[in-house]
Amino acid sequence: MGKTLILYYSYEGHTEKVAQMFTSYLNADLKRIQPIHEMAQKGFGKYVWGGAMVVMKKEPELKPLGIDFSLYDTIWIGTPVWAWTFTPPILTLLKSDLIRDKHIVFFYTHDGGPGHIEKKFLSCLHPSNRMLGAIGFESIDEHPDQLATKMENFIQTLPESYRNNR
């Protein structure tokens, strides 16, 4: 297998931290997905605004990624959980024609209510892709000591052919 790209969206840094740590374990490139118009809400307002984006199935326009996807055959996609599913920028990504014929690893951070995020992600992923694995991380600030072990253990569950070639 060829190169790995880790693509993630993060509003408040938790998913970014996980993405950066995975990058340090893998021989991977890292890229943050950013909507052109990021929400500005903090506190309770962010749940209302962000939740409404999810419910309305918004696909926000993204800043140019500047990525040559043909270089990668494995793409890790990371997101926070919003309203029991993945975030609107990830919906934009999945609905674009960029993620095709790839091996996919999905990861997400949440505060204890992931809902059926993995099922929803799969249902939006183009069928030409092949899932290698998925993992969620709950309240990472509360369990910082467990994070590295959990990540390393997860990498061991991925197909041997992938681990040997990364």
Ligand X SMILES: Cc1cc2nc3c(=O)[nH]c(=O)nc-3n(C[C@H](O)[C@H](O)[C@H](O)COP(=O)(O)O)c2cc1C
Instruction: List residues near ligand X by CB under 6 A.
Output: 10-16, 46-47, 50-51, 80-84, 109-114
φ/ψ of 148, rounded to 5, equals -60, -45
Closer residue to ligand X in complex, CB, 50/60:
50
Closer residue to ligand X in complex, CB, 9/72:
9
Shortest separation between residue 40's beta carbon and ligand X, angstroms: 12
Closer residue to ligand X in complex, CB, 1/39:
39
> Which residue of the chain is nearest ligand X when measured via CB?
50
Shortest separation between residue 34's beta carbon and ligand X, angstroms: 12
β-bridge partners, 29: 5
Three-point CA angle 11, 122, 73, nearest 5°: 85
Concatenated DSSP letters of 104-151: EEEEEEESS--TTHHHHHHHHS-TTSEEEEEEEEE-TTT-HHHHHHHH
Shortest separation between residue 157's beta carbon and ligand X, angstroms: 22
